[in-house]
């Protein structure tokens, strides 16, 4: 990856001839600083205002693709002009567009049964948190004390064995393990669905987590992809060193896309 700050002239030149641009943004760790608990995350007001101004530009569309639920994203952002992708794109919604992955919807009851089964054992690990996202669930360990990490890791291994025969799969994230329905869908396919719906705008994708790698890989050489959080291994073409650089990039985009 190349550090984005040293290539703004190149990016401006690549954006200049594009008649339409789709800005695809992750939420936690990208637009919002990572929080100790999901309910403590917040969208900085200046970031929301910049996104709204970008969406107001005639050739720009804004999409929020996140592991959060669709309802959560709509409540936080509140912009009817945005496109939203909840549960890593298993549910998509925007102006004149709505999609729910049928396979994931068919497995909702499986996920909800597991939510009920996991509540008791997760309470046995200090600091661990179970998040019910409807079509998926997440087990957070950001607040698990170091002394109790072996307990959390052991619990995850047990739950993996208990769910081995079910149509679900586990994915690691940033201080979280997620359990999703086993369907052929991810952020990359969700991004491609939005691009097709919008008649193939030029994509600019920004994210920080492992699930964003599906989006970066799908959009490789098709647009501009940016990983937030250092210069480690990623399918993204560029990187921002930390989340606090994201607002600066959005300000750059405002000027570049006018």
pLDDT one-digit tens code per residue, 58-88: 999 999 999 999 999 999 999 999 999 999 9
Task: Collect all residues with Cβ–Cβ distance below 8 Å to 235 and sequence separation of at least 6.
Answer: 213, 216, 217, 220, 225
Mean pLDDT of the chain: 96
Assign 17 to helix, strand or coil: coil
Strands 202-207 and 224-228: parallel
CA angle 206, 231, 7 (to 5 degrees): 65
Domain layout of the chain by residue ranges: 2-100+185-256, 105-181
Integer CA distances (angstroms), 164 to 137, 139, 215, in order: 16, 17, 27
Architecture of domain 2-100+185-256: 3-Layer(aba) Sandwich (3.40)
Q: What is the pTM of this model?
A: 0.95
Q: Does domain 105-181 have CATH number 3.30.70.1020?
A: yes
pLDDT one-digit tens code per residue, 196-253: 999 999 999 999 998 999 999 999 999 999 999 976 789 999 999 999 999 999 999 9
């Amino acid at each position: 990856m190349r550090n984005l700050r040293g290539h703004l002239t190149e990016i401006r030149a690549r954006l200049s001839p594009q008649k339409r641009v789709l800005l695809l943004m992750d939420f936690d760790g990208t637009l919002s600083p990572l929080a100790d608990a999901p309910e403590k995350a917040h969208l900085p007001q200046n970031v929301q205002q910049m996104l709204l101004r970008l969406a107001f530009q005639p050739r720009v569309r804004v999409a929020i693709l996140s592991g959060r639920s669709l309802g959560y994203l709509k409540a936080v952002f509140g912009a009817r002009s945005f496109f939203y992708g909840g549960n890593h794109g298993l549910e998509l919604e925007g102006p004149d567009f709505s999609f729910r992955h049928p396979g994931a919807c068919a497995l909702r009851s499986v996920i909800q049964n597991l939510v009920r089964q996991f509540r008791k054992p997760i309470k046995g690990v200090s600091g661990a948190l179970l998040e019910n996202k409807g079509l998926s669930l997440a087990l957070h360990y950001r607040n698990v004390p170091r002394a109790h990490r072996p307990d959390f890791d052991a619990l995850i291994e047990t739950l993996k064995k208990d769910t081995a025969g079910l149509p679900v799969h586990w994915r690691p994230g940033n201080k979280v393990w997620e359990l999703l329905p086993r369907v052929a869908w991810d952020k990359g396919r969700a991004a491609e669905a939005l691009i097709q719906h919008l008649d193939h705008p030029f994509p600019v994708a920004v994210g920080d987590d492992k699930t964003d790698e599906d989006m970066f890989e799908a959009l490789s050489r098709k647009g501009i992809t940016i990983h937030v959080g250092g210069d480690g291994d990623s399918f993204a073409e560029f990187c921002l060193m930390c989340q606090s650089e994201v607002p600066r990039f959005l300000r750059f985009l405002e000027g570049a896309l006018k």
